[in-house]
């Protein structure tokens, strides 16, 4: 990595956060590529794709799964709050999660068709832009730039466990304000709500909710973006009112009745997709718009979500 990118990241995130994230990324890649001793892990990784593909073909599900992966649903989630400022009654967030751009060509094509006709105030992206958890990210950024061109108004994002911290300078150059354990007020007239975001808490575990929440006034309405819903307890007890996440893909390949085989998370099953509550906090887990590993969805269609805030 060039000195320039490292300097930019250290200035942007602080020396410790930048070095922790980069250090764990380097360890992760070394593990996958067998540290030059063997390629066992890499072969293993590639075999997952073909094993799943072959199994689905044998079951006669592959073609249907591929078509499902392009059928993006527009879901609506209504969030009522007594402390929402009047100016924000009706405020709408477009939530897009888990694009996995290079694996999800058909879904990206469809997403770019849908986006121009949508109405919302801000857009939030809850991570996993890249297909794999390692390796090049140029194709992911190119595909994301095409999506970004169709988004209106301010766009905010967090990183997922598939993303490299090295993507941050280019993400911000394309006009996505990345929230890396940070918070931004959104103002309307004299009133404001607070939007915070954390770095990946699932694999990298460099999330810092305390830091993200530090500047939020005690009784203000606040939203936390986190790639994974797994930190729901920490978010609720830090006083967040709304928690938006992704990561689980809702299982992606599910049994009839949308019952996930795995959520790839340590999480109560009911928090794996859609709206939920914990303590005083309202949460939402998007099943995502893209696919991981294979571009297939069974009994779990992709989604983008409109969260409508309402003062009650
Ligand atoms: Fe994902």
> Residues 22, 1: contact at Cβ < 8 Å?
yes
In this model, does residue 255 exceed pLDDT 60?
yes
| 53 to 46, 193, 287, 312: CA distances (angstroms) | 11, 45, 21, 48
Distance 100 CA to ligand 1 centre (A): 7
Rounded to the nearest angstrom, the distance between the alpha carbon of 310 and the centre of ligand 1 is: 29
Q: What is the mean pLDDT of residues 193-219?
A: 96
Average pLDDT value for residue range 44-60: 74
Q: How far is the CA of 103 from the centre of ligand 1 (A)?
A: 11
Give residue 38's pLDDT: 45
Span 10-38, pLDDT tens digits: 999 999 999 999 999 999 888 776 544 44
Check whether 242 has a pLDDT greater than 70. yes
Cα-to-centroid distance, 220 and ligand 1 (Å): 30
User: Given this model, what pLDDT does residue 304 score?
Assistant: 98
CA 87 to chain centre: 27
- How confident is the model over 106-115, as a mean pLDDT? 98
Residue 58: band (very low, low, confident or very high) from pLDDT cuts 50, 70, 90: confident
Q: Which pLDDT tens digit goes with each residue over 157-193?
A: 999 999 999 999 999 999 999 999 999 999 999 999 9
- What strands, in cross-sheet order, belong to the sheet with 92-96? 73-81, 303-311, 92-96, 122-125, 155-157, 176-178
Rounded Cα gap, residues 183 and 211, in angstroms = 9
Integer Cα distance of 106 and 67 in angstroms: 9
Q: What share of the chain is helix, strand, coil (3-state, %, to 5)?
A: 40, 25, 40
Q: Which of 183-192, 227-236, 261-270 has the lowest mean pLDDT?
A: 261-270
Q: Are 251 and 291 in contact (CB under 8 A)?
A: no
159 CA to centre of ligand 1 in angstroms: 10
Backbone Cα Rg of the chain: 19
Confidence label for 1 from pLDDT (cuts 50, 70 and 90):
low
Please check whether residue 66 is in contact with residue 106, taking contact to mean a CB–CB distance below 8 angstroms.
Answer: yes
Give the integer Cα–Cα distance in Å for 64 and 80. 37
Task: Name the nearest CA neighbour of 102 among 76, 75, 137, 67.
Answer: 137
For the beta carbon of residue 48, count every other beta carbon within 10 angstroms.
11
**Burial track 54-88 (b if 16+ CB lie within 10 A, e otherwise):** eebeeeebbeebbebbbebeebebebebeebbeeb
Instruction: Look up the pTM and report it.
Output: 0.94
Q: At 69, phi and psi to the nearest 5? A: -60, -15
Give me the residues near ligand 1 (ion), CB cutoff below 5 Å.
Answer: 98, 128
Which band of pLDDT confidence, cut at 50, 70 and 90, is reported for residue 52?
confident
Q: How far is the CA of 247 from the centre of ligand 1 (A)?
A: 4
pLDDT above 90 covers a percentage of the chain that reads 82
Distance CA 309, CA 139 (A): 35
- What percent of the chain is predicted at pLDDT more than 70? 95
pLDDT at 44 over 70: no
């Amino acid at each position: 990595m060039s000195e320039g990118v490292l300097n930019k990241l250290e200035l942007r995130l602080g020396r410790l956060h930048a070095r922790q994230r980069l250090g764990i990324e380097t360890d992760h890649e070394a593990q996958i590529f067998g540290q030059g001793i063997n390629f066992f892990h890499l072969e293993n990784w590639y075999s997952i794709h073909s094993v799943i593909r072959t199994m689905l073909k044998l079951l006669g599900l592959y073609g249907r799964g591929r078509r499902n992966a392009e059928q993006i649903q527009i879901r609506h989630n209504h969030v009522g709050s007594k402390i929402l400022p009047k100016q924000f009654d009706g405020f709408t967030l477009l939530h897009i999660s888990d694009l996995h751009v290079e694996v999800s060509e058909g879904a990206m094509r469809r997403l770019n068709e849908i986006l121009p006709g949508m109405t919302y105030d801000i857009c939030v992206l809850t991570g996993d832009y890249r297909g794999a958890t390692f390796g090049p990210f140029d194709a992911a950024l190119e595909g994301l730039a095409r999506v970004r061109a169709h988004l209106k108004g301010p766009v905010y994002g967090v990183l997922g466990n598939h993303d490299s911290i090295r993507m941050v300078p280019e993400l911000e150059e394309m006009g996505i304000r990345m929230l890396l354990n940070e918070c931004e007020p959104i103002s309307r007239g004299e009133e404001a709500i607070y939007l915070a975001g954390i770095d990946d808490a699932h694999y990298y575990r460099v999330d810092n909710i305390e830091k993200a929440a530090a500047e939020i006034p005690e009784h203000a309405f606040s939203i936390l973006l986190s790639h994974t819903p797994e930190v729901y307890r920490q978010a609720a007890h830090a006083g967040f009112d709304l928690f938006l996440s992704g990561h689980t893909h809702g299982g992606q390949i599910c049994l009839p009745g949308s019952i996930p085989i795995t959520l790839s998370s340590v999480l109560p099953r009911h928090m794996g997709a859609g709206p939920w509550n914990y303590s005083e906090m309202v949460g939402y887990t998007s099943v995502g718009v893209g696919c991981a590993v294979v571009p297939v969805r069974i009994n779990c269609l992709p989604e983008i979500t409109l969260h409508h805030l309402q003062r009650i």
